[in-house]
Copies of this chain bind each other. A is one copy, B any other.
């Protein structure tokens, strides 16, 4: 078994577990649209889900918990009545913006190539 490449960066023909975990987290079903929406600012659960075909409450709850565990999303509970819960990106979550921009740009080139 080849020894695993050093963490981060293009490890030509190596295997970078950190890169692998990052790209699979970002690309996991529904995470793209969730992250894209939260880049616009903190949102309530219903606002994240709105207008996303086939995204169920159960699936959105699971994805938000995974993103919280990964340190990319925080759940904030307001003090006013009735209680308001919003989800927001952490600092490192907000730093996904250039990644999502790069994907959006590539998706145009990909669509044009078809």
**Chain A residues at the B interface, C-beta cutoff of 8 Å:** 1-2, 4, 7-10, 12-16, 18-29, 31-33, 36-37, 39-40, 47, 50-53, 70-72, 90-92, 95-96, 98-111, 113-114
- Asked if A1 contacts B108 (CB within 8 A), the reply is no
Complex-state Cα separation, A25 to B114, whole angstroms: 15
Cβ–Cβ < 8 Å partners of A24 in chain B:
27-29, 32
- Asked if A36 contacts B10 (CB within 8 A), the reply is yes
- Asked if A103 contacts B19 (CB within 8 A), the reply is yes
Cβ–Cβ < 8 Å partners of A113 in chain B:
71, 90-92
Cβ–Cβ < 8 Å partners of A107 in chain B:
8, 16, 18-19, 21-23
Complex-state Cα separation, A109 to B95, whole angstroms: 8
User: Contact check: which of B23, B50, B104 meets A2 at CB < 8 Å?
Assistant: B50
